[in-house]
Amino acid sequence: MRTDRMDDTLIEVPRGLTNVVAAETALGDVRGHEGFYHYRQYSAIELATERSFEEVWHLLLFGALPDRGELRAFRERLVRARVIPPAVAELLPAIARLTAGADALAGVRMALAAVAAEDRIRPLFDETGAESITDAIRVAAITPVLLADVHALANGRRPRAPRDDLGHVANYLHLVTGTEQDALRERAVSAYMTAAIDHGFNASTFTARVVASTGADLAAAVVGALGSLSGPLHGGAPSRALDTLDEIATPDRIDAWVTEAVRSGRRIMGFGHPVYRTEDPRSRMLRGMAQEIGGGRVEFAVTVESRVLELLAELKPGRELHTNVEFYAAVVMELCGIPREMFTPTFAAARVVGWTAHILEQAADGKIVRPSSRYIGPPAPLPLPPRD
């Protein structure tokens, strides 16, 4: 942490803005030392395991869990909101070609900008609250469809049509995998996606709020969040956690692999979290989901997790390193037929609901986010040097 004085006030500058309170929110909180987080007034993990994705979406948007009639109306609204405009559908093959070799997040950033232009989504600064909610539902509902379509086209397949008879998560699985998963697997993916909707002022959520604070349109704020999420230190970790299992390969290789990784300074994906100082509750939930499905891959993952935690305690004494959400999220998604390159896009398909809720909250505040920086360069002003 650096300190400086500005106008006789001590300014603290922690790296990464750690523990700096940037805004107030009624959407939820993460209590890292307790291993607990919540959406509004309810435990996020209880919501993930006991309520549908759509119910939690309604909670974040409107402040209350829906009754049966409200839930039915909300689901009907989502069906209408996820329809891709014909002009955008015509662009998707070109977008897929341009972003071939990248993940679907690159393509969906372009596609969402096109949707915003086609729908004439206006700046948040110029909209009423009801109009902004309509935009939030539109953007969050269409994003999973765009992700699946860009992925299909990039892999030489025709996109699958959404099914109106399926719930939001089941429909996403249909679009990505082409199959209806059994109830256990659908429940596991639903729990994961619901638990991924929001998680404090993470990098992508903060990015979305910064863009929203300028009064820009809602899709622009989501595009900014998607750019933040694409980084390996944020949402890009699930597939890399699965790479760890592949590289270790067998139980007898765990010790050597982890020891070499720690000594060489490599980060072990799937372990450690900037907020939690105890077990990540999402990891605990997803471990249980994976074990319900069962199989050799799950047994190996549990073995690796246990031994990695023991070795990290020995090799990095004093560090609070626990399994994070990416480790078992990767295992669950693999078990449910989601291709590895769609792990981070699946995270985005869930987190976009949280982003849009935060965007609406930030837009209602009406204050632009404009922090200060501390200059550490050469003293100024200096005279300009003569030209050669």
Which two tokens mark 229?
A: 């999420």
Alpha-carbon span 202 to 235, nearest angstrom: 10
Helix ranges, the chain (H)? 44-50, 53-62, 68-81, 86-98, 104-119, 129-154, 168-177, 183-195, 203-213, 218-229, 238-248, 254-263, 281-293, 296-315, 325-335, 343-365
Contact 349, 169 (CB under 8 A): no
- Residue of 151, 174, 273, 322 marked catalytic: 273
The separation between CA 263 and the C-alpha centre of its own chain, rounded to angstroms, equals 30
Lookup result for tokens 């059994």: 182
Annotation marks residue 326 as catalytic = yes
Which two tokens mark 234?
A: 């944020």
Which two tokens mark 129?
A: 């609250």
Rg of the chain, C-alpha, whole Å? 22
Q: Do strands 36-39 and 9-13 pair parallel, antiparallel, or not at all (unpaired)?
A: unpaired
Q: What are residue 150's DSSP bridge partners?
A: none
Annotation marks residue 273 as catalytic = yes
Contact 262, 295 (CB under 8 A): no
Q: What is each CA distance from 180 to 1, 152, 153, 165, in whole angstroms?
A: 51, 17, 21, 12
- Residue of 54, 127, 305, 326 marked catalytic: 326
Which two tokens mark 240?
A: 């890399």
Contact 158, 152 (CB under 8 A): yes
The separation between CA 50 and the C-alpha centre of its own chain, rounded to angstroms, equals 21
Alpha-carbon span 204 to 141, nearest angstrom: 18
Residues taking part in catalysis: 273, 326
